[in-house]
Homo-oligomer: A and B are copies of this chain.
Amino acid sequence: MRATVKDVARRAGVSPKTVSNVMNGIIPVSGATRTKVEQAILELDYVPNLSARGLRNGRSGVIALALPDLGTPYSAEIAHHIVEVAHEQGWIVQIEETGSDPQREHELMVRARSNLIDGLILNPVVLDESAVQVGVALPPVVLLGEVTQRLADRVFVDSFGAARDMTLALAQSGRRRIAVLGTTQGRGSAAAIQRTRGYEEALEILGIERDESLLIPCEKWTPQTAADALTAYLDSHPLPEALFCFTDSMAIGALSVLWKRGLRIPEDIAVAGFDDIADGRYAVPSLTTVSFDKRAIASEALRLLTERMVDRGHEQRVVSVDYNIVERDSTRT
């Protein structure tokens, strides 16, 4: 006969509650007690039937986290914080990758219906209305970052304001020819659109005329694509006084190109990024960036998601997480 939690408790000489504390690992249990319980679990080959439990109360205890590419530093840091906060709250986290592909984002929204999950946290790149239509019958969804439409509860950093403030900061040392790297043409991500607008707003505040030739497109936001785009740009344009990259990852690719050309940073050209990823702090020189509390993004996303699980009917909520400009050696003169 299959062992129950009571059998394990009896064999270990502890209460069933203690057995479940050892199993779920949330409430600390002394080492000696843990060993006794684990030994009893082993001897009785006890396997709790969580799957049946999940069906009984209609909850799986699982949330899904969908990101464009887990391998990029920004996504990895966000995933780390969400997994950490979710585990603290007793959630299991499933990972999905969308590869920044609108079709895969769309498919994910459809497939989310078929998975045994209680909620979905999605960092979309180009999510649009077609996904929303499917989304009405989805489990609770929280979106991370900028989106162009009101689709669901959302946690974001004000890309427009942050890009404006970074551009203003770059102009403080008298720099006027400020280029941006990462603008997109055609159907771009909401973040690209907002950051470009913030940059343009700053130019207006500064009384600097917008110069189309200082907008350097880069569809994919990776070090490699940024390095390629900047190399091509520098071959046919004069050197700007400052370069604001729309992500730190792009800035790291850009720094590598500038160094290889023997340019001094920030003397010849100042460089700034966005996201405050760990690698930016150790870049040569250390990278000026837009910083924000990634742990707060995770906590707020989990809070919105669990509130939505309890009450599907309330109005959509949007939480903005504060940012600040962190000045490091790449712009400090």
- A residues near B (Cβ < 8 Å) are 22-25, 38, 41-42, 45-48, 50-52, 54-55, 60, 62, 65, 69-73, 75-77, 79-81, 83-84, 87, 92-97, 104, 107-108, 110-111, 113-116, 133-134, 136-137, 222-223, 227, 252-253, 255-256, 259, 278-279, 281-286
Contacts and interface: CB of A to CB of B under 8 A. Distances in A.
Given A79-B95, A252-B282, 19 more contacts: A23-B111, A25-B110, A41-B134, A42-B133, A45-B137, A47-B114, A50-B115, A50-B116, A69-B80, A70-B70, A70-B76, A75-B76, A76-B79, A79-B79, A80-B97, A222-B278, A223-B279, A223-B282, A283-B284
Nearest to A92: B94
Which of A71, A136, A283, A284 counts the most chain B CB atoms within 10 A? A71
A229 to B, nearest CB: 14
Contact of A114 (B23, B137, B281, B282): B23
A75 B76 CA distance: 9
Q: Is the interface of A mostly helix, strand, loop or mixed?
A: helix
Contact of A48 (B24, B76, B114, B255): B114
Contacts of A115: 50, 92
Given A83-B97, A223-B281, A279-B73, A41 B286 contact: no
